[in-house]
Structure 1
């Protein structure tokens, strides 16, 4: 029994075995989109958090406005904008890269708030001590503040990793053949949706459990006082 659906016949299992390699190719695309989207979100989110923390209002206010815009507009709108509008200005990106970039841009706004909370959790005395040692602001941020902030926000970053994974099926609207889209095509051609969709649900469950376990492992292993730097 899978998701409350009992498979009684051997034909069901044979059909499942025959479509598994195809679904696994879609699974690979799902994982790749998740990883690329998360990396974009992590880097861009950190940049936005640093800009919003700038002393100059000319830097902080535009960064805050951009963050609010990204948070308050749907992922699908941003995806369509990147996919259909950018080519009009000569920027041609593959569908996969466009989709992963849209995921990263959308979630960078959320992750910037996670970074902000982590950066604010570091005692101000750390910054003052760095100034006393005549460290540059960039070195202070990269060597003193950030290594102490990251371990404290691992669980929140992990939650967004799982959320990005679950949003990958949205990319199917721009012809990215991720796992759910592959299952839909199989269902359209075989007129049998129960098995492919059930298998996709099971694969997503496995992916989520693995990602959650990895996040818990990092959360317990990383020192909360900061990452050791050599």
Structure 2
């Protein structure tokens, strides 16, 4: 079967629509995962075992079960329990919860990497817990976290084809529908690979720019902390 550029031109709008949904699901899912993961990391650091133990058990359970099963539960099982989610909403929540348990470990490692003296110095300066987290801990913890969080972002992007299982019309689902309807697979599937490659490369460039930006902010934050911390 020969490559047909005219066919590619015809299917390109549908593939672009699918790519838009893929990017939207990834961005929203990662935003959810970033916030959810931070919540899990904070709860796991709690001295209250009634909070830390169930949180740890939940995180282990989510990491130990396949994302596809979790998506099926959100989309097909929850309606039987009285909660119906749209396909995209279920996909975003599923991605967010699943990858939130992984980003939580990244947060935990970054937070644990902050020297204990920084916490003690913040306490000596009478900073509140919120001020300590915002001005002292997170600015130091974020920079080493960026590469790992970026890897999870790209991994999540590559997992979005699983959303087709819950009828989300993302890129792979659009390509499969086109291929099944026209009995031509080489063009749509090849274009999907090209889309994923281009978007992944663009994401890597953006992430490197973010790393440089956080590096500059971290140096500025360090200078500010040095100016206010007691010697």
Alignment TM-score > 0.5, same fold: yes
Distance 1:173 1:227, change over 3 A: farther
Give secondary structure in 2 for the equivalent of 1:222: helix
Aligned length: 222
The answer as to whether partners of 1:147 and 1:227 remain within 8 angstroms in 2 is: no
* CA apart distance, 1:143: 2.5
The CA distance in 2 between the partners of 1:51 and 1:87, in whole Å, is 29
- Structure 1 segments, 4+ long, off by >6 Å, are none
Question: Which string of whole-angstrom CA distances, capped at 9 and with x for unpartnered residues, describes residues 63-105 of structure 1?
Answer: 1111101100110111111112222232221110101110110
In the alignment, is residue 99 of structure 1 matched against residue 91 of structure 2? yes
CA distance in 2, matches of 1:112, 1:146: 14
Provide the TM-score with structure 1 as the length reference. Answer: 0.91
Matches within 5 A, 1:125-204: 125-204=117-196
Q: Measure the CA separation in 1 of the matches of 2:11 and 2:104.
A: 40
Superposed CA offset, 1:192-224 (max 9, x none): 100000000000000000111111111123227
Structure holding more helix per residue: 2
Give the 5 Å matches for 1:22-101.
22-101=14-93
Contact 1:184–1:197 (8 Å) recurs in 2: yes
Relative to structure 1, is the Cα distance of residues 84 and 228 closer, same or farther in structure 2, using a 3 angstrom cutoff? Answer: farther
Note the residue ranges of structure 1 that are not aligned, 5 or more in a row: none
TM-score normalized by the length of structure 2: 0.91
**Which residue of structure 1 lines up, in the alignment, with residue 109 of structure 2?**
117
- Are the counterparts in 2 of residues 148 and 227 from structure 1 also a CA contact under 8 Å? no
Q: Measure the CA separation in 2 of the matches of 1:122 and 1:202.
A: 41
1:217 counterpart = 2:170 = no
Q: Matched residues in 2 for 1:136 and 1:27: separation?
A: 44
Inter-partner Cα distance in structure 2 for 1:227 and 1:163: 29
